[in-house]
Structure 1
Amino acid sequence: MTALARRGALMACALLLAGCAHLNSGRQNADLSAFWSGRLALQVDGSAAQSFSASFELKGSAESGELILFNPLGGTVARMQWQPGSATLHANGEIRPFESLEALVAQATGAPLPLAALFDWLRGSNTPVPGWQADLARLNDGRLIAVRSQPEPTATLRLVLDK
């Protein structure tokens, strides 16, 4: 995986881990899928410390959905799509298939992530996840900070959500 594709996948995974976003009820459909958008900033500490930001659109559910990351000019950096039994990463003109979203996330980050809890967080339910602390107190203001303390490396995700 190229460095840019890995970075895009890491950002996407971080969002799937610790995210929270604004629900746009006008974009919901009959199958109860949902749509969230905004900007995220991620700082990952440790020996390979890095930080970056992107705009995002997330739709669907933990079972089936899509996450798109955009650069500051609005160009697509990465697109992740998943459904039961498969997941695909589109980045840098490459398409990489995975057997599941969990497999894609594990490949991109080197660790399993609590994907199901993300969608609870998106709906305002602070589902506990070992190692993570999601602060939903300012969710109604379109702001969230989530911190991962375990496993290493630690990470901080900040979100500003579209109104």
Structure 2
Amino acid sequence: MKRRLVLCAGWAGLLLAAGCASPGGPPQDSDTGQAWSGRLSLRVDSEPVQTFSAMFDLRGAPQAGELILTSPLGNTLAQLHWSPGEALLKNGAETRRFDSVDALIEAATGAVIPVAALFGWLAGREDRVPGWRPDLSRIGAGRLQATRDSPQPRADLRIAFERA
């Protein structure tokens, strides 16, 4: 259960099998950061297969921001906060510290997740990351899918979002 919660928190951006958020157009960059909310699901084809889904609120930018993950009933599962040089994962009374949001996600999932690219994808940009294939064909309807083929294990991220 603890590994699953950390996996969930790490993926925020991370955020797969799209749920139901109200559709919105591609968000635009702003000087104060960006904000999205919706549902995300993640499937990692590890042994055993790991899956997770949650409601999310994502605010900020790749350099500094926060991600709050909640259950369908509204219970807070995890809070991630990051700024240059530090990333915090809070779940309940426990707080774990990491040097960066990338380190937090790598520790949580066992793989590097492209946080900067995720912000770009949500904003409708096809930022390229080796090993990842974003599908932005439904971004105007508030849907994003990204697949990681390498390194293994394969991962599938699906997000249904609206601009917060």
TM-score interval, normalised by the smaller of the two chains: 0.7 to 0.9
Tell me the CA shift for residue 39 of structure 1: 0.4
Asked if 1:159 corresponds to 2:155, the answer is no
Unaligned runs of 5+ in 1: 16-20
* Identity, % of aligned positions: 45
Asked if 1:95 corresponds to 2:103, the answer is no
Distance 1:8 1:113, change over 3 A: closer
Write out per-residue CA displacement over residues 143-163 of structure 1, whole angstroms, 9 at most, x where no aligned residue: 122111111111111222237
Asked if 1:128 corresponds to 2:128, the answer is yes
Counterpart code for 2:56 = F
Mapping 1:1-150, distance limit 5 Å: 2-15=2-15, 31-150=31-150
In terms of fraction of residues, the more helix-rich structure is: 1
Q: For the Cα contact (< 8 Å) 1:86–1:97, is it kept in 2?
A: yes
Q: For the Cα contact (< 8 Å) 2:27–2:123, is it kept in 1?
A: no
Q: For the Cα contact (< 8 Å) 1:5–1:92, is it kept in 2?
A: no
Tell me the CA shift for residue 13 of structure 1: 5.0
Count of residues in correspondence between the two structures = 155
Unaligned runs of 5+ in 2: 16-22
Distance 1:122 1:24, change over 3 A: closer
- Give me the CA root mean square deviation: 2.3
TM-score by length of 2: 0.84
TM-score by length of 1: 0.84
CA distance in 1, matches of 2:152, 2:61: 27
Q: Provide runs of 4+ in structure 1 moved above 3 Å.
A: 21-25
Tell me the CA shift for residue 85 of structure 1: 0.8
Tell me the CA shift for residue 24 of structure 1: 6.5
Write out per-residue CA displacement over residues 97-149 of structure 1, whole angstroms, 9 at most, x where no aligned residue: 11211221121122222222122112111011111110111101111221111
Tell me the CA shift for residue 42 of structure 1: 1.3
